[in-house]
Structure 1
């Protein structure tokens, strides 16, 4: 692990050279694939050539190639055999996405990311006793590839793909066993996981905050306690990712009441493992530059452009919003993953996730992004003593005789004593951190005070269940520029009233 820290220091010192070499290597490896021949990879000699030759791809653009891979063809996007696909439904589109996962992507990206995460943690916490017990991982499930059912090909949540392919030694230090961890019946799986893991010496948790909370609550109920340290006294770290930890921080402090508990953030997705928190007590992540991924960045003002301008790593600036574009060792070429990030540092390159390109509210020119919403929620909670479990928000459109606004549905674990005060604090923080929102709120000229619904515990769980979105990589959509999700949720609440 200490040796790997020295390797990482190499891209600390030479980040741009490491990235240019990565692009050269990816192009060389794939030059004889169908995609490589189509775009003349053999003749590409520079990043400028690459940009001019290969168009930016959305999932819809690249799916025809992926579909052929799923039907059993090979050497289409990447030269090695592809038999695994990470299934991702996203949160704005009900249709599933299937992301190819090569052996190189597993070895040099996902597995390497897991090992580096542990290296960073041990480096920051040399007194750790994490290895004296087991890691509890909440994964998804996988199934035979229905596009090619007679082949040895599968798809599933990226967590399930990783867990199924882990080396044998890794299976001995995690819990529960694969046959339980990869069950597809989510409610039954949580129940079984709670029973099994409540008898184990769990020292570390790995997973999405939403579903980890659900498991912890099941264990607490099973053991008739309100402190998870009564069950897992040696628990010392939660490695989390997929959604922002900000709204959940206070709830975890309540569930795990220990000042010594550590929280380490990761940025891993179906498409790859991108970033790791490398400093104790920080919410920044180091952008990992030697994982078989070449990065490009679309500036905020270009998000909606048909042919957006892209920047290489050496052209980005601190504090600006960028959409990530990736080229990977699984055959994604100049692929828009839909995530937005901000650089907090360029020496080394550290980032924060700021949202999704399709997850924002901009119905009136207010440009509210997920990062704004989470900061405002966190401050309103802090000042009112509230703790939230989940939330979503959408615009209220202009109507005859009424002005526009935002409507929020919030599920609290600990409710604020005064919801009106909470709403004003939420609004004030949004105005303080977003000048566009503040301008629209000035004297209620375009936007009025937000509407906030306080909904019963379990509302979001039941809504996700109704939509077939329990478990795995599924996440509650935080913000939407239309009312599709919000109206669906409100309709369900109304029907139960």
Structure 2
């Protein structure tokens, strides 16, 4: 009997528990809330916000305000300096470094021991449970999993306290048993220089029996390209003939899928999306035929939602899970066993089902363009690019977009800077197809484009090879969970990129 067949038995109880999501989702969520309130009442934050007297969701929503990172920042910094019982009982030793706010280069998300075990590792366990349920023929554990992570460093001068990418914290604390079925070595996985790490990972894994991949699509692709260069092979299945699945997350997979399918030509290769952020593990693609993800309901995360058409209002509507509607776009709030209370995570989602609760990620509350009332979100952008690529044979490696508020001819438009791994047969046609698809999927954009009165057709600037890589390297953001900001109302990022694009043009 294969090792996978033996290991699969461990996941059977959890597979049965996931089936209860169909009928017990709301009750699961309220059990989570009661647990979090019970634990949180013993903290300074809990005492200040009357958690000891909180008996219902309505009390909770009244007593605890909606928070951004700015509201919790001082408390988190006290936790980083070793203070106990601030936002969560006890002392928190790990802090996941995430992209910054308006006022700070980075955010530091507390990761308590409970959160690490119940949320992050619990979600990872569910990924495997769902995968094995869907693919009983899997040989997942008969080889190695290539897990791509970031790096960490000491947190101030606090003993045994670390700050870094969430993936590095997960690798640092991973079960010794898991180390038998993963590559590369821990010391390689935690290197801070991504370019050195990429080469070493490729060298270490080249002759291993790799059956599965886990990581961010953009960074994993960079590693796989290096594996191909070292191997001299045409396709990845020639290097790893038993490779069967890529567990991916962090950024949308759609722009990268053609590149992966060119690299891995086996018709048996599978792709499974996960939603594992620094703040928590929120979703898994539990059905291979459905692109939406199952919301994780019993992992120490209580969810609330703000309709995006009210986002930014002084007193927006906030609803728990039972209040969401299919098809509506929401900003997500979370309360977790890491001490995040009614925390605005910054992601936006749209539910595709409420029985069970399934959703798609539509973007970020700060990654959108609404310079002229067009309300363009990342979901629109991904649909538009996928269509334009399909119609022109193009493949997009990286991109970003921002508004041009007024040029020398008093014209306004969106400007897209795109790095193609395969250029379209006609760039003007690509731009026209993208523009048309955006109008089709976004009525506000369509209205602003009407007769070119408010917005003219979008402009595409072709980026040189490796532009986005060089920009991230310049900013010290290679590897880990760093992402290229896709859409922005500000021109800061795109202007930096355009300057770099021109400075190295041949």
Matched with 2:23 is 13
Contact 2:82–2:158 (CA under 8 A) maintained in structure 1: no
8 Å CA contact retained: 1:379, 1:426: yes
Counterpart CA distance in 2 for 1:113 and 1:289 is 10
Deviations 1:288-320 (A, max 9, x none): 000001000011122112343211111100011
- Aligned partner of 1:253 in structure 2 is 261
* 1:127 has 2:132 as partner: no
Contact 1:91 1:477 in 2 (8 A): no
Cα shift at 1:249? 1.1
Cα distance, 1:152 vs. partner? 1.9
In structure 2, the residue matched to 1:49 is 59
Once the 2 structures are TM-superposed, how far is the Cα of residue 4 of structure 1 from its aligned partner? 0.7
Cα pair 2:81 2:158 within 8 Å, conserved: no
Which portions of structure 1, spanning 4 or more consecutive aligned residues, are displaced by more than 6 angstroms? none
Aligned to 1:186: 194
Which of 478, 496, 505 matches 1:470? 478
Shift of 1:390: 0.6
Structure 1 segment 182-261 matched on structure 2, within 5 A: 182-261=190-269
User: TM-score, normalised on structure 2?
Assistant: 0.96
Residue 69 (structure 1) aligned with residue 74 (structure 2): no
What are the superposed Cα offsets for residues 43-95 of structure 1, whole Å, 9 maximum, x if unpaired? 00111111111101100000111000001101111113311111102587761
CA distance in 2: counterparts of 1:400 and 1:382, whole angstroms: 34
Mapping of residues 351-390 of structure 1, within 5 Å:
351-390=359-398
In the TM superposition, what is the alpha-carbon distance from 1:328 to its structure 2 partner?
A: 0.2
Q: Which residue is 1:406 aligned to? A: 414
Q: Indicate the SS of the match to 1:143.
A: strand
Structure 1 residue 103 corresponds to structure 2 residue 113: yes
1:169 match: 177
Compute the displacement of 1:233 (Å): 0.9
Q: Work out whether 1:490 is the aligned partner of 2:495.
A: no
CA apart distance, 1:155: 0.8
SS in 2 for 1:247: coil
- Matches of 2:227 and 2:102, distance apart in 1: 32
Q: Spell out, residue by residue over 1:257-300, the C-alpha distance to the aligned partner (whole angstroms, 9 max, x if none).
A: 11111000001100000000100132110000000010000111
Kept in 1: contact 2:403–2:415 (CA 8 A): yes
Q: Distance in 1 between matches of 2:101 and 2:263?
A: 27
Aligned-partner SS, 2:309:
helix
How far off is 1:495 after superposition? Answer: 1.4
Matched residues, number: 495
TM-score by length of 1: 0.98
> Do the aligned partners of 2:380 and 2:438 also contact (CA within 8 Å) in 1?
yes
Distance change (3 Å), C-alpha of 1:115 and 1:150: closer
- Superposed CA RMSD: 1.2
- CA change 1:93–1:275 in 2 (3 A) is farther
Conserved in 2, the CA contact under 8 Å of 1:141 and 1:184?
yes
Name 1:419's counterpart in structure 2: 427
The equivalent residue for 2:95 is: 85
Structure 2, unpaired ranges of 5+: 1-10
Aligned pair partner of 2:164 in 149, 156, 171? 156
Residues 1:350 and 2:361 aligned together = no
Tell whether the 8 Å contact from 2:22 to 2:355 is kept in structure 1 after alignment: yes
Is 1:265 the counterpart of 2:265 in the alignment?
A: no
Question: Residue 154 of structure 2 corresponds to which residue in structure 1?
Answer: 144
- Once the two structures are superposed, what CA deviation does each residue of 1:430-484 show, in whole Å capped at 9, x if it has no partner? 1111111111111111111111012222111111111111010100110001101
Quick one: structure 1 residues 91 and 256, their matched pair in 2 at CA, closer, same or farther if it must change by over 3 Å?
A: farther
Unaligned runs of 5+ in 1: none
Aligned residue among 39, 42, 46 for 1:29: 39
**CA spacing shift, 1:276–1:150, aligned 2, 3 Å:** closer
Whole-angstrom CA distance in 1 between matches of 2:71 and 2:40: 19
Q: Secondary structure at the match of 1:21?
A: helix
SS at match of 1:302: coil
Instruction: Check the 8 A contact 2:101/2:107 in 1, yes or no.
Output: no
The 1-side partners of 2:310 and 2:444 are apart by: 18
The CA deviation string for residues 378-403 of structure 1, in whole angstroms up to 9 with x for no partner, is: 00001111111111100010246322
Give the 3-state SS of the residue equivalent to 1:73 in structure 2.
coil
